[in-house]
Amino acid sequence: MVDVSCARCGNTREGAGKTGLPGALGEEIEQRVCAECWKEWLATQIRVINHYSLRPALREDREKLYAYTREFLNLST
Ligand SMILES: [Zn+2]
């Protein structure tokens, strides 16, 4: 695993690695988010999906979820 300087917590530590997210967002997380913060987001996103009644199968809802992902991880939009 490669160490990253994390955009969310500011620590330099093990990166999130491959997240399965597509395109630029997936790459940005791989390069700028640590494994700990990624794990936190995976737990949090379940609550986000429930709270906003998102249906990740729908493109429109996926886009919203990606926006929340960026916000949580302190990535640029
Ligand atoms: Zn972090």
Rounded to the nearest angstrom, the distance between the alpha carbon of 72 and the centre of ligand 1 is 11
CB atoms within 10 A of CB 76: 7
Write the CB contacts of 21 (distance below 8 Å, at least 6 apart in sequence): 29, 66, 69
Give the pLDDT mean for 19-40: 96
Cβ proximity of 55 and 74 under 8 Å: no
Rounded to the nearest angstrom, the distance between the alpha carbon of 42 and the centre of ligand 1 is 13
Question: Which residues does residue 5 pair with via DSSP β-bridges, in sequence order?
Answer: 12
Q: Is the pLDDT of residue 2 over 90?
A: no
Rounded to the nearest angstrom, the distance between the alpha carbon of 59 and the centre of ligand 1 is 28
Rounded to the nearest angstrom, the distance between the alpha carbon of 76 and the centre of ligand 1 is 15
What is the pTM assigned to this prediction? 0.91
Q: Kindly report, residue by residue over 40-74, the tens digit of the pLDDT.
A: 999 999 999 999 999 999 999 999 999 999 999 99
CATH of 3-73, one of 1.10.3880.10, 3.10.620.30, 1.10.443.10, 3.30.870.10: 1.10.3880.10
DSSP letter assigned to residue 34: B
